[in-house]
Amino acid sequence: MKSFDAIVIGGGQAGPFLAARMVEKGMKVALIERKFLGGTCVNAGCMPTKTLVASARAAHVARSGAVYGVNIPGEIAIDMKVVRSRAETVTMNARNGLIGWFAGMDGMTVIYGHARFEGPKTVSVNGETLTAPRIFLNVGARPVIPELSGINDIDYLTSTSIIHLDTLPRHLAVIGGSYIGLEFAQMYRRFGAEVSVIEHGPKLASREDEDISDAIADVLRSEGIDIHTGVSDIALARSSDGITVATDSARIDASHVLIATGRKPNTDDLGLDAAGVITDKHGYITVDDKLATNVEGIWALGDCNGHGAFTHTSYNDFEIAAANLLDGDDRNLSSRIPAYALYIDPPLGRVGMTEKQARASGRKIMISTRPMSRVGRANERGETKGFMKVIADAETKKILGAAILGIEGDEVIHGIIDAMNAGTTYPALQWSVPIHPTVSELIPTLLGDLKPV
């Protein structure tokens, strides 16, 4: 049995950085990774997909050149092999950077293999048993595959496998109208494929307010994406030239099908029962406000604990754990203000409560909206789709939430994220003097239009 001061299971965006901090403190740490360092973000999520989004936007801008007085003769051709290669290069650079970083650390042992608990302090991997007083789980999540009629009879894609395509689908059918599915839908439409989105719920991106969901649908429809919502039955079958997707309202002749119906935690084969670690009904590991599980000496970080499914929330889990365990701090998971983005184009930046949540909270609230067509930067760029919305507490003057669907919305939202984290009231932010011409300069104006509801 090999002994360590700490064992980290999973090489995502929380565990490895915590392992590095512990090594800096002179600890002996084992980092166990089943497949690739970097987790979903580096290998199958943010980095490759946003690289693909960038290629798709380049194609879109090239096709739109005439509007700006830039005429490109002939059809804009897409070389999917180059597109794929570029995404793989970004991934490999990040992954190899982590490999090199850890290789230079005395006290760090990186082990590739499938780890399982043998007890609360012991883990087996590759036929060896390791023990440590502290064990951290950062095992991430994977795509959910729903039980659809005929799904086992076709070759379907997931968000992990589609990034390796080096040919352009004739017609991509996307099952699932949430964040992952919508990003791939617009991406492949811009590459030149016909695209259909099939969503069970009544709206796309159902987590958002209805006005945001409707605006997202308008953006995608304006680019020729076929959207089907409120679909109750889906049946899949092989056809002579691809896959038939039959719903209760439509029949789609697709060449490829992407399953984008959510993700589930990678916790079902860790032997958690042997350690006594509790999970909820969806398989997420139950943690307290400090990210500790019910078993002393075991923590769960990142997607597998169900408190955010983003790179930035996973990294923040590392920050919380490191601050509490290594720096003598007292940081809590509950103090985190939720924020995220949807990387269609234009992007959606979101923070805090939706309007629906704010209304349901019983607070006296104020709301302001402003179309992107009123933003100088948007008009100058010729990108006026979308709108801004902010919700505030009428009594405390604190900002409760905001949504910016529009050009650079994923960046502009950070002014509001920072204000909310600092506890700044909206009147104080309203009187800032932003730079012109930017998208952010409209935030004070947006705040100045707040009205009670």
Q: Which tokens belong to 324?
A: 């509490």
What's the rounded Cα separation, in Å, for the pair 275 and 268? 13
* Rounded (5°) CA angle 177-178-184: 80
Beta bridge partners of 123: 117, 130
Q: Which residues contact 176 (CB under 8 A, 6 or more apart)?
A: 197, 198, 199, 258, 259, 260, 261, 262
Q: Does the CA dihedral 10-15-21-27 come out positive or negative?
A: negative
Radius of gyration of the CA atoms of the chain, in A: 24
Cα distances (angstroms) measured from residue 342 to each of 49, 209, 351, 372 = 12, 14, 12, 17
Q: Which helix (H) or strand (E) holds 340?
A: strand 339-342
User: Catalytic one among 164, 200, 312, 436?
Assistant: 436
Closest CA to 196 of 176, 218, 172, 177: 172
Question: In the annotation, is 436 catalytic?
Answer: yes
Task: Return the SS3 of 205.
Answer: coil
Evaluate whether 392 touches 399 at the Cβ level (below 8 Å): yes
Catalytic residues: 436
